């Protein structure tokens, strides 16, 4: 590979199709996510963004098309297999268990590792204890980087909306992703916490993480995401910097004449 040739995509989607009864949600979607980017996937309501996320993360099967992650065809694999491969998603509504503490919620997600089980616990108790301690250490480190240390022993139910969003990102980080899919990470979050979440995601990118984000808050997208991929009616529309796509007449038309601005 020459120095000028682009790095291969970490995620490559081609000709993805999915209908619900007569409703065509994905109509041949194609896109690529380059390693080390925070890429946004935007588009008007009903464009198919959530359906794309669900197909990528294995929650639903596409009718046709391919999802290639790091060179591996993961189309139609079960969600746990996809998580195990290093592609992890967070949910728009934080999925944490409300009555568990933040620490316990983080630990739950970190345990989805292969090779664990009752037999290992009986046969190798010391090894299990060491692994549990390592997991706790990781949970504390994840909480620290997301400014959640103060609330580590609080029940998830007692967190603010923004802290729940951070815990949801933390849960995803516990699975040690190489590609993190974030579904509306700042929906319903106040502007100052939204800026804090953007800064956490920027730090993850600076450490080499790749992130794909669906988000309606355009100031957040403008400040953090490059490139921005716009989809409409189940397909790829355009891609570029936020400024480029916001100035694109096709994008403005897709948003029904509304100006897209930060």
Ligand X SMILES: Nc1ncnc2c1ncn2[C@@H]1O[C@H](COP(=O)(O)OP(=O)(O)OP(=O)(O)O)[C@@H](O)[C@H]1O
**Which residues of this chain interact with ligand X, rule CB under 6 A?**
20, 23, 25, 43, 45-51
Question: At what angle are helices 102-110 and 125-145 packed, to 10 degrees?
Answer: 120
Smallest gap from Cβ 78 to ligand X, in A, equals 19
Q: Which SS3 state, helix, strand or coil, does residue 58 take?
A: coil
Q: Which SS3 state, helix, strand or coil, does residue 19 take?
A: strand
Smallest gap from Cβ 45 to ligand X, in A, equals 4
Smallest gap from Cβ 189 to ligand X, in A, equals 17
Q: Which is nearer to ligand X, 98 or 188 (CB)?
A: 188
The conformation of residue 146, written as its DSSP 8-state character, comes to: T
The secondary structure of 167-186 as a DSSP string is: HHHHHHHHT--SEEEEESTT
Smallest gap from Cβ 23 to ligand X, in A, equals 5
Q: Which is nearer to ligand X, 107 or 230 (CB)?
A: 230
Residue 89 tokens read as 């998603």
Q: Which is nearer to ligand X, 16 or 173 (CB)?
A: 16
Q: Which is nearer to ligand X, 90 or 163 (CB)?
A: 90
Number of H helices, E strands in the chain: 10, 10
């Amino acid at each position: 590979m020459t120095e000028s040739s682009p790095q291969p995509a970490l995620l490559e989607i081609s000709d993805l199709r999915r209908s619900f009864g007569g409703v065509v949600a994905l109509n041949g979607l194609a896109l690529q996510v380059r390693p080390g980017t925070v890429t946004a996937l935007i588009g008007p309501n009903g464009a198919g963004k959530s359906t794309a996320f669900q197909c990528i993360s294995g929650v639903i099967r596409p009718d046709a098309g391919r999802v290639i992650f790091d060179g591996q065809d993961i189309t139609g694999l079960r969600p746990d297999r996809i998580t195990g491969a290093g592609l992890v998603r967070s949910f728009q509504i934080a999925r944490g268990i409300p009555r568990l503490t933040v620490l316990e919620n983080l630990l739950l997600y970190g345990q989805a590792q292969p090779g664990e089980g009752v037999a290992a616990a009986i046969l190798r108790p010391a090894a299990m204890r060491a692994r549990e301690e390592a997991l706790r250490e990781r949970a504390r480190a994840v909480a620290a980087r997301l400014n959640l240390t103060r609330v580590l022993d609080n029940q998830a139910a007692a967190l603010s909306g923004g802290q729940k969003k951070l815990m949801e990102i933390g849960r995803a980080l516990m699975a040690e992703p190489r590609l993190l899919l974030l579904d509306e990470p700042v929906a319903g979050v106040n502007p100052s916490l939204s800026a804090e979440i953007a800064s956490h995601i920027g730090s993850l990118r600076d450490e080499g993480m790749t992130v794909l984000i669906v988000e309606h808050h355009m100031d957040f997208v403008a400040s953090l995401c490059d490139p921005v991929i716009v989809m409409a009616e189940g397909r790829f529309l355009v891609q570029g910097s936020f400024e480029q796509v916001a100035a694109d007449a096709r994008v403005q038309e897709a948003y029904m004449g509304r100006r897209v601005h930060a």
